[in-house]
Structure 1
Amino acid sequence: MRPTLAAVLGLDVGLLQSGMGGVAGAELACAVSNAGAAGCAGGYKLSGGALSAMLDRLATGTDRPVGINLIPEVVGPEELDRQLAQVLEETPRHVYVSLFGMPDDRVFDRVAAAGRHLVVQVGTVEDGVHAADLGAVVVAQGIEAGGHLLGTSTRDELVAGLRAKLPAACIAASGGIGSPEEAARAVEAGADGVLLGTAFVVAHESRAHERFKTLVTAAAESDTVITDVYEIGWPGRRHRVLSTPVTADPAQPKKFIGKTVVEGKPYLVPRFSAAVPTEATTGRIEEMALYCGLSCGAIPARTPAAEVVARFAGVLPGSTEVKN
């Protein structure tokens, strides 16, 4: 019998929280982990003191499995090496490494040698087979997902394709999962657990801007679009977002439309920036990148992260009790 996600990572509930840059801070990640699932903070481009500050909050906020998400294609091999060095040197072993997209093969060996779990999100069967062969937990991301898209397959098509090639591997499904019923469909397709993103954007502990949360909870599937307009900071990758004046008219000038603060450092936000609006962002929020998956219509009113986890405990393989 193949291992469940819960068994591999040592969870009460076989559920991963997406490490969404800006939105998923240490507070959200630790709340999810303390509820029995696997929280994950978005490392994005953080390095040096800013990354250390986040890692310290992660390590002290929970003694349960909790992750830090890094993005190989955004930072490049050298910066990823520096980020990984900080993670492995500055955190205890209950902090796992989560990667959005495939890194160089040596990264798999480096994480394994440090005794850490590695979770890799993929969008193709080829990448998933390679990641599993190198020892990673594989997250199969379908085009139903919010945020940047790694492939062109639907979630269940990708899960089924991976399962056919990897009968014994641990595979989690991602994309369009906003209800226990949808999670059960992903499990039926061959998943050993699930990853949720949009459902946690609106959680109390999320750092998403309040207007962003309101727009997500009010949205239906038809309010999302796949586009490539939010490319400043992350070029060459399609993404699913809520429809905005910017997606409707991508010929607008690339001028600054807001300001934000990341780990104490101020930044200007240009139109077409890949950065999401957070609680530290001001300006034209409704023109910014409002990442949102097809699960939006199934997401209930804003709740604590622990309640999101509890909704899915009964349908995911290997789940036991949910911590209060």
Structure 2
Amino acid sequence: MRSTVASVLGLKVSLLQSGMGGVAGSELACAVSEAGAAGCAGGYKLAGGALSALLARLTAGTGRPVGVNLIPEVVGPDALDRQVAQVLNETPGRVHLSFFGMPDDAVLDRVTAAGRHLVVQVGSVPDGIHAAAHGAVVVAQGTEAGGHLLGTSRRDDLVAALRARLPDACLVASGGIGSPQQAARALAAGADGVLLGTAFVVAHQSRAHARFKSAVTAAGARDTVITDVYEIGWPGRRHRVLATTVTAGPRQPAKFIGKTIVEGKPYLVPRFSAAVPTEHTSGRIEEMALYCGQSCGEISEEASAADVVAAFARVLPGAEAITTQERAEHHVG
């Protein structure tokens, strides 16, 4: 009998939060974990003191299972190795490592040898099989997802194909899941849990810019497009975003259109930057990378992270472990 995500990671609900760089800070990750799911902070390109600061806030903010997301193709093997070392050295065993895309086998083996849980997001059957062979929880990302896309298959098709090849693996569905009904559909396709991104972009604890959140809640699935224009900082990878004047006119000059602050350091934001607008960003927000999945059509208002988890808990494995009293306590916290 295969395991649910809740049983593998020690959760109350088989729900993972996407570790979205810039948007998913320690506040969001801790709130999701405190609600009984698996929060995840976006490590992105953070290193040294900046990464240490994030890890310190993360471990201080919750005593429950929580993760750190790293992106192998963005930082390269040497920097990734240093990031992994920091996470392993500076956090307790309840912190799992989540990878967006496949790292080298040595990285996977290092994580499991340290006794940490491993989560790997993939976009193809071969990568899913490879990750499962290393003991990973496999997140199957469909093209309905917001953000950068790892493959070309739709969510349920990829989940079903992976389940056929991996009957005992722990599989998580990702992409286009904005309602409990979509979550139930993913479970019926063979998933053992779901990963949500866009639903948490608009959470109160998200660091997304207010105008970014408003754009997501006002959008429908047809307002999203798959493009490759936001490539500065992350080239060569298609992404699903809300349609903007930049996606409509990719021949515009790549001049600076805003400013942002990351872990206390200021940066200029050029047009076509892969960076998302956060609460610390100013400038032409509507021209920036507004990553958004097709689930936006089912998301009409901002909510607390606990409310998002509670809404999905009733259809996900492990949901019965969340009591009314616990939910009330999470609201107070």
Same fold (TM over 0.5): yes
Question: Which residue does 1:91 correspond to in 2?
Answer: 91
SS of residue paired to 1:6:
helix
Question: Which residue does 1:63 correspond to in 2?
Answer: 63
1:51-110 Cα deviation digits (max 9, x unpaired): 000000011100111000000000011000000000000001111100000000011110
- State the 1:187 CA deviation: 0.1
Letter of the structure 2 residue corresponding to residue 114 of structure 1: A
Letter of the structure 2 residue corresponding to residue 162 of structure 1: L
Letter of the structure 2 residue corresponding to residue 105 of structure 1: D
Letter of the structure 2 residue corresponding to residue 24 of structure 1: A
User: Is the 8 Å Cα contact of residues 257 and 271 (structure 2) preserved in structure 1?
Assistant: yes
1:110-142 Cα deviation digits (max 9, x unpaired): 001111001000000000000001110000000
Question: Which residue does 1:222 correspond to in 2?
Answer: 222
TM-score (norm 1): 0.99
Question: Which residue does 2:181 correspond to in 1?
Answer: 181
- Aligned pairs for 1:24-173 within 5 A: 24-173=24-173
Question: Which residue does 2:330 correspond to in 1?
Answer: none
Rounded to whole Å, the distance in 1 between the matches of 2:113 and 2:105 is 13
Deviates more, 1:308-317 or 1:257-266: 308-317
- State the 1:318 CA deviation: 2.9
SS of residue paired to 2:76:
helix
Q: Percent identity?
A: 77
SS of residue paired to 1:157:
helix
Rounded to whole Å, the distance in 1 between the matches of 2:300 and 2:4 is 27
Letter of the structure 2 residue corresponding to residue 213 of structure 1: K
SS of residue paired to 1:275:
coil
Letter of the structure 2 residue corresponding to residue 277 of structure 1: P
Rounded to whole Å, the distance in 1 between the matches of 2:177 and 2:201 is 13
User: Is the 8 Å Cα contact of residues 4 and 170 (structure 2) preserved in structure 1?
Assistant: yes
Question: Which residue does 1:257 correspond to in 2?
Answer: 257
SS of residue paired to 1:320:
helix
- State the 1:189 CA deviation: 0.1
User: Is the 8 Å Cα contact of residues 218 and 300 (structure 2) preserved in structure 1?
Assistant: no
Question: Which residue does 1:317 correspond to in 2?
Answer: 317
Question: Which residue does 2:16 correspond to in 1?
Answer: 16
Letter of the structure 2 residue corresponding to residue 176 of structure 1: G
Rounded to whole Å, the distance in 2 between the matches of 1:268 and 1:226 is 25
Rounded to whole Å, the distance in 2 between the matches of 1:172 and 1:31 is 21
User: Is the 8 Å Cα contact of residues 123 and 153 (structure 1) preserved in structure 2?
Assistant: yes
Letter of the structure 2 residue corresponding to residue 146 of structure 1: G
Does residue 292 in structure 1 map to residue 266 in structure 2? no
- State the 1:248 CA deviation: 0.3
TM-score (norm 2): 0.97
- State the 1:302 CA deviation: 0.5
Rounded to whole Å, the distance in 2 between the matches of 1:118 and 1:320 is 25
Letter of the structure 2 residue corresponding to residue 51 of structure 1: L
Runs of 4+ in 1 over 6 A off after TM superposition: none
User: Is the 8 Å Cα contact of residues 11 and 319 (structure 1) preserved in structure 2?
Assistant: no
User: Is the 8 Å Cα contact of residues 121 and 141 (structure 1) preserved in structure 2?
Assistant: yes
- State the 1:320 CA deviation: 2.6
SS of residue paired to 2:98:
strand
Q: CA RMSD in A?
A: 0.6
- State the 1:317 CA deviation: 1.9
Rounded to whole Å, the distance in 1 between the matches of 2:300 and 2:94 is 31
SS of residue paired to 1:214:
helix
User: Is the 8 Å Cα contact of residues 217 and 296 (structure 1) preserved in structure 2?
Assistant: yes
- State the 1:299 CA deviation: 1.3
Rounded to whole Å, the distance in 2 between the matches of 1:137 and 1:2 is 12
Rounded to whole Å, the distance in 2 between the matches of 1:116 and 1:320 is 26
Question: Which residue does 1:246 correspond to in 2?
Answer: 246
Question: Which residue does 2:206 correspond to in 1?
Answer: 206
Unaligned residue ranges in structure 2 (runs of 5+): 328-333
Rounded to whole Å, the distance in 2 between the matches of 1:278 and 1:80 is 24
